[in-house]
Structure 1
């Protein structure tokens, strides 16, 4: 069916125009996290998540981490309320388990957590490569798993550097599948919003290709430039001694953990290979332009890059508008919430909050309520959802 857009502004004062303010106003009720949350790994990301969840009102946050001193540090910082001796004890009875293990270990840990938890527990992770984890799961296991990736971090690792505001305003990608249970996706979405992040649902392959381009390839390039500069000394003049601020900025991430980044590249190898091939092709075009002395092409190359940079800066400075609620009639079938959320995520439309009321046995459809910031974003969201065949109506 086609759709019409009738949206209403939220009456709760959420239209304050400030993502940071909205996100930190105690949205834990939206997350539905009345029970324990388990963190498998309590380093910088896990520790920061624990602090943020405790700040948002989650009463019980259990932690497990095999690293020496990690649990003691997390307890001392208040990032967890209980230290568990193993994964099974940490996950027992938890409403949500967040796997914050090193990227190379995530797939195995997710499988272990799913094996020791029941149907009421949702499992998510924080890794920057998603396909490898999903590929290892059966369709039944995928029902309780929703991949996640907070685009946040710091130069210093470990729970000692954890911060309760690390995720405030940060994009937190979610990669639900057609098998992901809607009630569990809603729970993960609410948790992400409760710690101040902006949940954005995307297809898993889209996520991995995006990260290969904007994160993984830049790390490779920074390390390659640093390696080249470190061994170059024309006529005895060491290149590193001639480096200015721009080189330092460009290669800052070259100081990241070698073990971590080897794991990340191997976990996302297909997408990274695509990115490196595309970049080699672009460098070949630059070489060809230089060989033929083509000033016009070179100026166009730099001009298009400058325009892209300007769009990036405008996006960072964009003002978040008043929150508008959109209500959608959705059929009672698997994957419908993932489908809607992913369509909006691909269009760069952030869902501030969502709630799904499934259809009863005697009803043909359920009700999905979405809160979107800004009239323009709400209009685009309603149109996109209607284009998928859903009926978009005014909220109750």
Structure 2
């Protein structure tokens, strides 16, 4: 009998999961639906899914796997709807939410349905959105957290890994409490800090006119994550509320300790603060993906003359190397400008560097 999967929410993540399932399991029939009808139609035309379902019930009624690729609050509502529908016995229901506690607790409404809920969080993304940006390699080498939840779900972990094998992700199992604490400290809280730093700089604009110009370089880079979707991050922080407040308390204690070092002008303590941070940070894995997608930037010295940007992008294009962003830096030395190129993967960056150097462009990793 032909296996069937349903993907609810046909954006970047849902579309990429559908493509990964198709690649690994070409015999699987995938139905899908999205609140945006145009996205659903586009998913069919791009062969991301096999059939557009008119609604949730039609999409899931015969599905062996149901993927809820929607924002956390929407996923919670969908779980309630699923509880009132006819679902295939033994089916697996999973999600892709960035927080897990509220979703896993809500999933208890499925306890009498003879289905198995396994929470999921693929830790990968892109600056693009929508099903047109979906790609089969989006999750390659990224961590994909699985959260077994409810009776019998642990026995189904192997089955969902088989379903998602085409993602080429690294699967790890966590409890929902572990997941929310870990992602809180290494992903969610840094977004608060980055956004707070941006607010601090913005607040100085009226009195310090130069602040915007000086913030264009390194400050802009270290606060890059503050450019993420406000809607998404409002949802994430509210759903991970308890963890966020605990981390804020810890942060305030950390800042108070540093403030005291400055009051006392304690040179040794200040030095140790920076030295310990440097030592730990330098020891973190450099080439592995974590909760925050890695940034693969390459800086290229270019002469200031017409056509140089098209020359650089042409070299990369002819070699089949894609870039996802290009930026012209204001800082110059003598007559050289600097291009900041952002690649999707470390392999793309390395290949780009090699091709540019063959054409006498000096490039370096910042």
TM-score normalised according to structure 1 size = 0.68
Using the alignment, how far apart are the partners of 2:8 and 2:71 within structure 1? 10
Decide whether the 8 Å contact of 1:75 with 1:82 is kept in 2: yes
Q: Residue 281 of structure 1: SS of its match in structure 2?
A: helix
Q: Do residues 70 (structure 1) and 39 (structure 2) align? A: yes
Shift of 1:180: 3.7
Using the alignment, how far apart are the partners of 2:45 and 2:138 within structure 1? 18
Q: Do residues 120 (structure 1) and 120 (structure 2) align? A: no
Q: Which residue number corresponds to residue 101 of structure 1?
A: 70
Q: Residue 149 of structure 2: SS of its match in structure 1?
A: coil
Q: Structure 2 vs 1, CA of residues 245 and 201 (structure 1 numbering), >3 Å: closer, same or farther? A: same
Root-mean-square deviation over aligned CA pairs: 2.1
Q: Which residue number corresponds to residue 13 of structure 2?
A: 45
Shift of 1:233: 2.8
Deviation string for 1:215-250 (max 9, x for gaps)?
111111111111221221374424221115321222
TM-score normalised according to structure 2 size = 0.73
Unmatched 5+ residue regions in structure 1?
Answer: 1-32, 318-396
Q: Structure 2 vs 1, CA of residues 273 and 192 (structure 1 numbering), >3 Å: closer, same or farther? A: farther
Decide whether the 8 Å contact of 1:193 with 1:199 is kept in 2: no
Q: Which residue number corresponds to residue 144 of structure 1?
A: 116
Decide whether the 8 Å contact of 1:114 with 1:123 is kept in 2: no
Using the alignment, how far apart are the partners of 1:233 and 1:191 within structure 2? 52
Deviation string for 1:88-140 (max 9, x for gaps)?
11111111001001122111112323442132211000001000012223382
Using the alignment, how far apart are the partners of 2:10 and 2:94 within structure 1? 15
Q: Which residue number corresponds to residue 289 of structure 1?
A: 261
Q: Residue 136 of structure 1: SS of its match in structure 2?
A: helix
Q: Structure 2 vs 1, CA of residues 212 and 141 (structure 1 numbering), >3 Å: closer, same or farther? A: farther
Using the alignment, how far apart are the partners of 2:159 and 2:2 within structure 1? 11
Give the total of aligned pairs.
285
Unmatched 5+ residue regions in structure 2?
Answer: 290-366
Higher relative contact order, chain-length normalized (CA < 8 Å, sep 6+): 1
Decide whether the 8 Å contact of 1:41 with 1:101 is kept in 2: yes
Q: Which residue number corresponds to residue 343 of structure 1?
A: none
Using the alignment, how far apart are the partners of 1:177 and 1:192 within structure 2? 18
Alignment of 1:245-324 (within 5 A): 245-313=217-285, 316=288
Using the alignment, how far apart are the partners of 2:152 and 2:245 within structure 1? 29
Q: Which residue number corresponds to residue 4 of structure 2?
A: 36
Q: Structure 2 vs 1, CA of residues 137 and 316 (structure 1 numbering), >3 Å: closer, same or farther? A: closer
Deviation string for 1:332-374 (max 9, x for gaps)?
xxxxxxxxxxxxxxxxxxxxxxxxxxxxxxxxxxxxxxxxxxx
